[in-house]
Amino acid sequence: MKYLKKYIKETLGIELKIKTPSKKELGKLPLYLRNNINIGEILGREILFVFNSGLTPDQYKKQSEVIEKATQKPVVFILENIAAYNRKRLIQKKVGFVVPGKQMFIPGLFIDFKEYKNKQIKKTELLSPAAQCLLFYFLLGNKIAGFNFNEVAKRLNYGNMTITRASNALAQLGLCEIEGGKGKKLVFTKSKEQVWNDAQGYLINPISKEVFTDDNCNYDSFYKTGINALAHYTAIAATNKNYYAISYDTSKKIFKKKKIKLVDSPDARITLQVWKYDPGILASGNVVDPLSLFLILKDSGNERVQGELQKLIERLW
């Protein structure tokens, strides 16, 4: 267990807390599946860690389905070692597993870390706002292949040096490649889903700070976010509480000219989220993009929200 905790700490930067399932929880399972099961929490979700080795991928798949149906919790098998071709089959079958020190695949949380060789994710390895914005611009289907850095900078309204640094950061993490001499270009050889999975652990919450107001916020540079943005993309119901995302530059203009009166209460009618990158670059109309929205809501304890977020991401690929 200590190796699992160490690996989770090194890859996700969180302390994994483990507890034993209650008799009531174990009672939901067939007798042959009640041994070697522990409950852990990752990114706000309870996970069932099952220690069971020597099975075929099909057998792991069947066991995970039985356990998940009985408990309504994602299942992750802890494996000491497994052949590469069997790891590939488990991934194809969307069976969660962890080989401590080598690989972690948890499809319910969109996590796929491959062969990190105990490389620790440090704060300096998190993506900069510009790098994340550039990455999401590609993942959301915008064409940047074939464009040099200067052209990409114009499209995203960043400086040339900022895009150069952002591109280098993505390449260093293996999320893309850089080709060319003077006219360097980004090249993505993996599928968008694979790039998204590989980026987990490097992504940042786009929110820099939140402020509150009861004033009307009918501005073009305000973008719907939070649960009401999720309601735009999914079947979840909207709420009376409104959240809007704005860029840092917009916040300076609005607050300096006092166009909006701020109040010191999170119970205000409207919450304004000042983002680390301009939400308008990635927005769909007046609604924030689904990838940034996922990062904002992924730690919600609401199971309905978690379910709709998963559907939202899966539909993108």
What is the tens place of the pLDDT at every residue in 202-221?
A: 999 999 999 888 887 777 78
Q: Which of 8-17, 115-124, 225-234, 299-308 has maximum average pLDDT?
A: 225-234
Please state the domain count of the chain. Answer: 3
Query: Which range of residues forms the domain containing residue 156?
Result: 123-199
Q: What is the pLDDT of residues 53-112, one digit of tens each?
A: 778 888 899 999 999 898 888 899 998 877 776 787 888 888 999 888 778 888 866 665
Residues of the chain above pLDDT 70, percent = 93
Do 167 and 143 share a domain, yes or no? yes
pLDDT of residue 118: 40
CATH code for the domain of 21: 3.40.1350
Q: What is the pLDDT of residues 237-284, one digit of tens each?
A: 998 889 999 999 988 888 777 777 888 888 888 899 999 999 999 999
Residues present in the chain in total: 317
Closest by Cα among 179, 143, 194, 184 to 161:
184
Residue 272 vs residue 10, higher pLDDT = 272
pLDDT of residue 113: 58
Do 312 and 219 share a domain, yes or no? yes
CATH code for the domain of 140: 1.10.10.10
Model confidence band, residue 138 (pLDDT cutoffs 50, 70, 90):
very high
Residue 179 vs residue 112, higher pLDDT = 179
Do 54 and 29 share a domain, yes or no? yes
Which structure tokens are listed for 184? 């360097």
Given a contact cutoff of 8 angstroms between Cβ atoms, the answer to whether 183 and 234 are in contact is no
The chain-wide mean pLDDT, for the chain, equals 86
Among the three residues 84, 114, 144, which one is the final residue of a domain in this structure? 114
Cβ neighbours, 10 Å, residue 136 = 23
Whether 122 shows a pLDDT value over 50: the answer reads no
| Dist CA 284 CA 206 (whole Å) | 16
Residue 127 vs residue 54, higher pLDDT = 127
pTM over 0.85: no
Q: What is the mean pLDDT of residues 176-190?
A: 86
Whether 117 shows a pLDDT value over 60: the answer reads no
Backbone angles phi, psi at 200, to 5 degrees: -60, 140
Whether 137 shows a pLDDT value over 90: the answer reads yes
Do 258 and 275 share a domain, yes or no? yes
Given a contact cutoff of 8 angstroms between Cβ atoms, the answer to whether 185 and 145 are in contact is yes
The structure tokens 């840092």 sit at: 248
